[in-house]
Chain A
Amino acid sequence: MDEAQAIHPLHDKASSRPTLEAWRSLALVTVGPILLAFLLCALALLIAGHDPIAYYLYVVERGVFSGQGLQQTLTRMAPLLLHAASLIIAFRAGIWNLGGDGQFLLGAVMAAALGPVLVTVAPDWITLIACMLLAMLVGALWSLVPALLRAYQGVNEIITTLMMTFLGTSFANVLVKLIFLDPATTVPQTRTLPVEDRLAWLPGTTISSGLFIGLAAVIIVHLVMTRTAFGLRLRIVGANPKAALHAGLSVSALTVIVFALSGGLAGLAGAVDIVGVFGNVRADWNPAYALAVVPLVFLARFNGWATIAFVFFYAVLDIGGESAARRIGVPQYFTLVLVATMFILLALAEWLDQQRRARQRS
């Protein structure tokens, strides 16, 4: 077993070109398990007394085929894509940044604190850019302690980032309730960025242009990680830190840089969700996107293009599921179960496929 597999059983070689064989196994290893997951979860729906076919049709209809639903789906993709970009950098460099939710929320709160105030004195575009930069800075700063602990003390970052995410969630609430409170409202929330000052909608739609920020982030991250020397360095650190040291790379410095980039992108996700969609942060708001995106990025095997497809897929389930929760009475938690089932079945299929290939070789 080589090092890359030890880190990640679903890993492929980033540079391999798709062949016919690859497409065939893609169909078997990807589509099969997804269908099986739908089937298993359909059984669960049946047992719970719902009509699974009606549910699935409703979710797809609401998520993709209704005009408003599709617009919501595409808008929802923006923060998910930015989280995905954040995770791709970290995971490819072998760093488990599981603190995305804390970085996201603090970025969101800081953007919501700055935006509505700054917009009264500065032009829109300066406000929007300032909010995004500030959120990136805050996200990066929130990942600094885990970064330094990992880089210079060797402390496992899974623990530290999770702790920082719990800490950040509470801290974001403290900020909203005590410091950035909007005195004009009775519910605890920040001041609101007026709709006309937010990120523009695509002409003729209600799709936030944050979608393009998300798409650009994933594509740039993908290209940097697979096509540049900097990306190669990070991948070496991820695949084998000892070899990276021998190759003369400064593993500690690269680790801190990866954390900063990853945290910054998660913070940016928060800003884009605020200046693009919500306009303010209410107390106790936590969409918890990051942990849900982790499986998607793995399913995509850290590949940017595949990630975009999976994120779209998940956004459909998410938006469709939200609406189905109101209409059909299947709670939103069902989406979580569906994604987790898919995820575990896909990991299994991958393993079976590896076994099959190993048998063929021998």
Chain B
Amino acid sequence: MEALLTTAFLTALVTGAVTAGIPLLLAGLGEQMSEKAGVLNVGIEGMMLAGAFAGFFAAYMSESIALGFLAGALGGFGVALLMALLCVRLGLNQIVIGIGLTLGFEGITALLHYNLFGRSYPRLPAVETLRIPGLADIPVLGPAFFDRPLIVYVAVLLVFVVSFVYRRTNLGLYLQAAGDKPAALDVTGIDVVRIRTFAVLTAGTLAGLGGAFLSEVGAGLFVPFMTNGAGFIGIVLAMLARGRPFWVLAGAAIFGACLSLTTALQVAGVNVPTDVIQMIPFAAVMAVLIIFGRNAHLPAALGIPYVRGAR
């Protein structure tokens, strides 16, 4: 066990946890906003994949990570646009369309990858980091938290921004009302459909960024189906966080640590089959749901399309 507690191992573990946690954080924040406004977004996995592919493609072609993230956000936004049109505007079933979109974009991204990169499997160079002087020199925590790509800081900053929006702005109130009592919101003259559309599109954009992070920063390449359930974990985080962005951050950190442990233990030569370790995060969710299940709060009108005048 002593060999496990070296500085190098701990640094790798914490750094890996941050790298694995950021996509979950972005997806979870997005899903949280969507759920708050009453749209259960099961298509988030597809949005992440679209973002992952678009981000990788743009970053590879333009050799610019920033453009990559822009494209990733747009990719997620594009899928969310479909979701908003079908589920918010037309009021089709959110779960059904969500599954359809996830399946569809699993296929489309895999197909595009096969056609464009199926023979070459290109990789992106390592992403440049933004070193925060002083803090970055702390052992273990420094390299893990304060010597990372810009997008990591942006993602964490977003938690504060979103939290502020929910607590202090009218928009936050509208979002909450759209999920809890859409008819009441409608009466005050705010368009429920518009608020929900905004929430779904924001969710898609954040999920797209999360996907782009997976392919650009996490892996450095695109692999078909690479999100591997990250979007679904995002949904769980959003449900357990009960509308609080900081809880999503905490959840993403815990899940990131579980995922990071998988790789770190293997690197350290601990002989446990990967499958056992891969079970940890999902077993953790189930344990949390069994213990705190009763407290999982969901907006009253979640999953129900809003049609003005229909009862």
Q: How far is the CB of B256 from chain A (nearest CB, A)?
A: 16
Measured CA separation A292–B100 after assembly (Å): 9
Which of these binds chain B: A128-136, A226-234, A263-271, A333-341? A333-341
Question: Once the chains bind, are A339 and B103 in contact (CB under 8 Å)?
Answer: yes
Interface size class of A (residues with CB under 8 A): 35 or more
Contact with B along A153-179 (1 / 0, CB 8 A): 111101110111011001101100110
Question: Once the chains bind, are B296 and A156 in contact (CB under 8 Å)?
Answer: yes
Contact with A along B268-280 (1 / 0, CB 8 A): 0000010110110
Measured CA separation A251–B6 after assembly (Å): 54
Question: Once the chains bind, are B286 and A344 in contact (CB under 8 Å)?
Answer: no
Question: Once the chains bind, are A9 and B92 in contact (CB under 8 Å)?
Answer: yes
Q: Which residues of B have CB within 8 Å of A154?
A: 293-294
Q: Which residues of B have CB within 8 Å of A327?
A: none
Q: Which residues of B have CB within 8 Å of A334?
A: 107, 111
Q: How many A-B residue pairs have C-beta atoms within 8 angstroms? Tell me.
A: 142
Measured CA separation A343–B102 after assembly (Å): 12
Question: Once the chains bind, are A347 and B92 in contact (CB under 8 Å)?
Answer: yes
Q: Which residues of B have CB within 8 Å of A96?
A: 95
Q: Which residues of A have CB within 8 Å of B283?
A: 167
Identify which of A178, A336, A351 contacts B103 (C-beta below 8 A): A336
Q: Which residues of A have CB within 8 Å of B97?
A: 344, 347
Measured CA separation A294–B95 after assembly (Å): 11
Contact with A along B87-107 (1 / 0, CB 8 A): 000111101110111011111
Question: Once the chains bind, are B273 and A178 in contact (CB under 8 Å)?
Answer: yes
Asked whether any CB of chain B lies closer than 8 Å to the CB of A39, the reply is no
| Contacting residues of chain A (129-153) with chain B, CB-CB under 8 angstroms | 145, 149, 153
Given A9-B93, A156-B296, A336-B107, the answer on whether A174 and B275 have CB atoms closer than 8 Å is yes
Most chain-B Cβ atoms within 10 A of its Cβ — which of A164, A166, A295? A166
Given A295-B100, A334-B107, the answer on whether A8 and B273 have CB atoms closer than 8 Å is no
Question: Once the chains bind, are A333 and B224 in contact (CB under 8 Å)?
Answer: yes
Question: Once the chains bind, are A174 and B279 in contact (CB under 8 Å)?
Answer: yes
Measured CA separation A285–B285 after assembly (Å): 24
Asked whether any CB of chain A lies closer than 8 Å to the CB of B48, the reply is no
Contact with B along A191-222 (1 / 0, CB 8 A): 00000000000000000000000000000000
Given A149-B289, A149-B293, A337-B104, the answer on whether A163 and B236 have CB atoms closer than 8 Å is yes
Q: Which residues of A have CB within 8 Å of B92?
A: 9, 347-348, 351
Measured CA separation A291–B307 after assembly (Å): 29
Question: Once the chains bind, are B114 and A331 in contact (CB under 8 Å)?
Answer: yes
Q: How far is the CB of A125 from chain B (nearest CB, A)?
A: 34
Question: Once the chains bind, are B290 and A145 in contact (CB under 8 Å)?
Answer: yes
Question: Once the chains bind, are B99 and A159 in contact (CB under 8 Å)?
Answer: no
Measured CA separation A116–B74 after assembly (Å): 52
Measured CA separation A335–B108 after assembly (Å): 10
Question: Once the chains bind, are A177 and B104 in contact (CB under 8 Å)?
Answer: no
Q: How far is the CB of A177 from chain B (nearest CB, A)?
A: 6
| Contacting residues of chain B (250-295) with chain A, CB-CB under 8 angstroms | 273, 275-276, 278-279, 282-283, 285-286, 289-290, 293-294
Identify which of A1, A9, A171, A337 contacts B311 (C-beta below 8 A): A1
Closest to A145 in B: B286
Given A155-B289, A348-B90, the answer on whether A177 and B311 have CB atoms closer than 8 Å is no
Asked whether any CB of chain A lies closer than 8 Å to the CB of B158, the reply is no
Asked whether any CB of chain A lies closer than 8 Å to the CB of B239, the reply is yes
Asked whether any CB of chain A lies closer than 8 Å to the CB of B310, the reply is yes
Measured CA separation A9–B86 after assembly (Å): 11
Question: Once the chains bind, are A166 and B104 in contact (CB under 8 Å)?
Answer: no
Given A145-B286, A336-B107, the answer on whether A170 and B276 have CB atoms closer than 8 Å is yes
Q: Which residues of B have CB within 8 Å of A343?
A: 100, 103-104
Measured CA separation A10–B93 after assembly (Å): 9
Q: Which residues of B have CB within 8 Å of A54?
A: none
Question: Once the chains bind, are B293 and A153 in contact (CB under 8 Å)?
Answer: yes
Asked whether any CB of chain B lies closer than 8 Å to the CB of A314, the reply is no
Q: Which residues of B have CB within 8 Å of A295?
A: 96, 99-100, 103
Question: Once the chains bind, are A347 and B279 in contact (CB under 8 Å)?
Answer: no
Q: Which residues of A have CB within 8 Å of B110?
A: 331, 333, 336
Asked whether any CB of chain A lies closer than 8 Å to the CB of B37, the reply is no
Measured CA separation A48–B283 after assembly (Å): 41
Q: How far is the CB of B135 from chain A (nearest CB, A)?
A: 36
Closest to A352 in B: B90
Closest to B98 in A: A158
Asked whether any CB of chain A lies closer than 8 Å to the CB of B140, the reply is no
Q: How far is the CB of A152 from chain B (nearest CB, A)?
A: 9
Asked whether any CB of chain B lies closer than 8 Å to the CB of A55, the reply is no
Question: Once the chains bind, are B282 and A167 in contact (CB under 8 Å)?
Answer: yes
Question: Once the chains bind, are B99 and A291 in contact (CB under 8 Å)?
Answer: yes
Question: Once the chains bind, are B106 and A333 in contact (CB under 8 Å)?
Answer: yes
Measured CA separation A10–B46 after assembly (Å): 22
Measured CA separation A112–B58 after assembly (Å): 46
Q: Which residues of B have CB within 8 Å of A44?
A: 111
Asked whether any CB of chain B lies closer than 8 Å to the CB of A7, the reply is yes
Q: How far is the CB of A295 from chain B (nearest CB, A)?
A: 6
Question: Once the chains bind, are A160 and B107 in contact (CB under 8 Å)?
Answer: no
Question: Once the chains bind, are A167 and B279 in contact (CB under 8 Å)?
Answer: yes
Given A145-B286, A159-B239, A348-B90, the answer on whether A291 and B229 have CB atoms closer than 8 Å is no
Q: How far is the CB of A331 from chain B (nearest CB, A)?
A: 5
Measured CA separation A9–B92 after assembly (Å): 6
Given A149-B290, A173-B275, A344-B97, the answer on whether A159 and B235 have CB atoms closer than 8 Å is yes
| A156-B298, A164-B286 known, 4 other contacts, Cβ within 8 Å | A294-B99, A333-B110, A340-B101, A348-B90
Give me the 6 closest cross-chain CB pairs, A-B, nearest first: A340-B104, A336-B107, A337-B107, A333-B110, A173-B275, A155-B293
* 18 A-B pairs in the complex with CB atoms less than 8 angstroms apart: A1-B307, A1-B310, A1-B311, A10-B93, A155-B296, A159-B239, A160-B286, A162-B229, A164-B282, A167-B282, A170-B276, A171-B279, A174-B273, A174-B276, A177-B275, A331-B114, A343-B104, A344-B104
Binding site for A on B (CB under 8 A): 40, 42, 82, 86, 90-93, 95-97, 99-101, 103-108, 110-111, 114-115, 224, 229, 232, 235-236, 239, 273, 275-276, 278-279, 282-283, 285-286, 289-290, 293-294, 296, 298, 304-305, 307, 310-311
